[in-house]
Structure 1
Amino acid sequence: MSFIRTFHGDIAPSKLGFTYSHEHIVCRPPYWVEQENDDLLLDDKEKSKQDVLDFKNFGGQAIVDATAVDYGRDVQAVKEIAEETDVTIVGTAGFNKSFLWDAQIPEHVKKVTGDYHTYYEWIDATSINKLADFVICEIEEGMEGTNIRGGQVKFGTGYNRITPLEEKTLCAVARAHHETKAPLHSHTEAGTMALEQIELLKSEGVHLEHISFGHMDRNPDPYYHEKVAQTGALLSFDGISKIKYAPESTRIQCILELVRKGYEDQLLVSGDTARKSYYKHYDYGLGLENIIGKWVPRFIDEANQNGFDGQRLIEKFFIHNPARCFAFKK
């Protein structure tokens, strides 16, 4: 029997509905707090909530909040948004990438990490199995000492490299996945190192159909995408609306190329909306409504022009594939 673990509790996969697969809703990343980079602080619950309501008003039903402990989650605020909007939200256990770990651990997190000063110190000093226990606790008991349980486990690596501590957290997350059966999610910086991550995951006995690789559209390379897809893993195209990285035409053509090759069941789409300037109600950005309100109609039109059934593909990417990807399989 499979289920999806949400801020509302466990639900049947069929109840998830139209889903953004990688977003950030309320977070104060300690690294960016220390750098005084205000744009990367989503620190106003009410403004974030208004964007979630925009998503809902266009027909959206669920959001996967991909914010891990080292990226400054506010699990209570996100739970309140889930309750007040009736949008299903999935939380994330695990870790991000190593350059964030030089930041100070907030006091409220130290009750579960211990009295270390930085995430780097904590991860360096803690065994793989103890880190796995931390992730397991976030899935089975609650995140950061709350009773709000995570719905996926996450690890990350940097740009064109995997540091020893990133490998350590990858192994810890893989072991937590085996214990809890939680789905896996990978942060790939600028879409790099997925194939190298795959080799490490194989060494930990992970079946690749249980993982989604984030930020694949940051590396718009059809050959690379196919190599990842051949493993059975899901690919997350979660940079929609970010024209500074690539035009939407590039993303859409990469997606359609994977569809042509038979991988439509392995694709997810989202926005990784993690800056005030991306949000409508913080800073007049395109907001959480942009993908469902504008990108989806464009994709359907382009897909139809290329001989595909665009509406059917949208249902795959936003409904059927997330329902399978984010399910615990006991």
Structure 2
Amino acid sequence: MSFIRTLRGDINPEELGFTYSHEHIVCRPDYWVQRQEGDLLLDDKEKSKRDVEDFKRHGGNSIVDATAVDYGRDVGAVKAISDELDVHIIGTAGFNKSFLWNAKIKEELKPIIGGQYDTFAEWIDGSTIHDLTEFVVREVEEGLEGTPWKAGQVKFGTGYNRISPLEEKTLRAVARAHHETKAPIHSHTEVGTMALEQIELLKSEGINLEHVSIGHMDRNPDPYYHEQIAKTGAFLSFDGIGKIKYAPESTRIHCILELVKKGYDQQILISGDTARKTYYKHYDYGLGLEYIIAKWIPRFISEANHRGFDGEALIHTFFVENPARCFAFKL
């Protein structure tokens, strides 16, 4: 038996349809509020909704909102967008990465956490792995931040070329929450580093890597490295589409097709990690959530066909078949 847990309830995997695997829709991260980094505050529900509406108009069905508790998520606003547009949205339990943990904990969240901690760093440091596991499990089985809307994946993150003790603590908590809930696991890698080290820690917790997706693989455009990750059975998330400041699209497409050539097409996810106003069309004239589905996909199909692949079939694999397997709870 398998199902996918969305903010609107559990659905059959075949109902998920065309899916972006890693986005941020409405969030106000306190870490960036403190630094007056307004570009990183997606704080207007109606503007975010218009971008999701563009995605739907071009044929999109579902979005994974990868915003964890320490990144200032607005669960109610995201759930409202899901309802108003009839788009499936998967919420995320767990944690991000340690440099963000100086963020202040919202007052309304403190009773749910069950402590008098002021920052996420204090909470994670002062809690046991068991305490953190119980929190993540509640967000999957009862609801995010005390709401009735449940998470459909669990997440942890690590830093650039390092895994701090607190990051390892959250990784182990998330792994144990997966064992209890069967929720799929997603990992944040900083600039695509430390994926293999994450995998070794997950193995030590008895995790089947087929239930794990590893983020930001296109930030480290190294085909050899990608192959080593793919050999473990994990999904690789190429979720920086449209971010030319990191690499041209030709580099990302090359890395994806290298994995396809080696037989790993069923482990590839694609998205945009659209987490700035300047990335959104209706905040600040960016490429928007429509970019991948309306503009990038035709280019990918053309390049894949030119190299002898069936581009349209690969798109169906990346955006429909793979998410339906990756984000399923398998009981």
Q: TM-score, normalised by structure 1?
A: 1.00
Name 1:329's counterpart in structure 2. 330
Letter of the 1:160 counterpart = N
Query: Post-superposition shift, 1:179?
Result: 0.1
Measured against aligned partners, the alpha-carbon deviations of 1:241-276 in whole angstroms (never above 9, x if no partner) come to: 000000000000000000000000000000000000
Query: Distance in 1 between the 2:282 and 2:38 partners?
Result: 15
Paired residues, what number? 330
Name 1:270's counterpart in structure 2. 271
Name 1:154's counterpart in structure 2. 155
Unaligned runs of 5+ residues in structure 1 are: none
- Conserved in 2, the CA contact under 8 Å of 1:30 and 1:106? no
Check if 1:32 corresponds to 2:26.
no
RMSD over equivalenced CA pairs, Å: 0.4
Measured against aligned partners, the alpha-carbon deviations of 1:63-98 in whole angstroms (never above 9, x if no partner) come to: 000000000110000000000010110000000000
Name 1:241's counterpart in structure 2. 242
Query: Distance in 1 between the 2:237 and 2:153 partners?
Result: 14
Q: Residue 132 of structure 1: SS of its match in structure 2?
A: helix
- Conserved in 2, the CA contact under 8 Å of 1:238 and 1:268? yes
Runs of 4+ in 1 over 4 A off after TM superposition: none
Name 1:12's counterpart in structure 2. 12
Letter of the 1:271 counterpart = G
Name 1:285's counterpart in structure 2. 286
Q: Residue 67 of structure 1: SS of its match in structure 2?
A: coil
Check if 1:98 corresponds to 2:72.
no
Measured against aligned partners, the alpha-carbon deviations of 1:95-133 in whole angstroms (never above 9, x if no partner) come to: 000000011111122121232010000000000011000
Q: TM-score, normalised by structure 2?
A: 0.99
Query: Distance in 2 between the 1:67 and 1:108 partners?
Result: 18
Letter of the 1:106 counterpart = K
Query: Distance in 2 between the 1:231 and 1:41 partners?
Result: 36
Q: Residue 52 of structure 1: SS of its match in structure 2?
A: helix
Letter of the 1:209 counterpart = E
Query: Distance in 2 between the 1:149 and 1:103 partners?
Result: 23
Letter of the 2:175 counterpart = A
Q: Residue 298 of structure 1: SS of its match in structure 2?
A: helix
Query: Distance in 2 between the 1:184 and 1:11 partners?
Result: 18
Query: Distance in 1 between the 2:77 and 2:283 partners?
Result: 16
Query: Distance in 1 between the 2:40 and 2:111 partners?
Result: 25
Check if 1:303 corresponds to 2:293.
no
Name 1:167's counterpart in structure 2. 168
Query: Distance in 1 between the 2:8 and 2:117 partners?
Result: 32
- Conserved in 2, the CA contact under 8 Å of 1:157 and 1:188? yes
Alignment of 1:59-74 (within 5 A): 59-74=59-74
Name 2:321's counterpart in structure 1. 320
Percent identity between the two aligned chains: 75
Query: Distance in 2 between the 1:244 and 1:109 partners?
Result: 36
Query: Distance in 2 between the 1:271 and 1:108 partners?
Result: 31
Query: Post-superposition shift, 1:309?
Result: 0.1
Alignment of 1:182-201 (within 5 A): 182-201=183-202
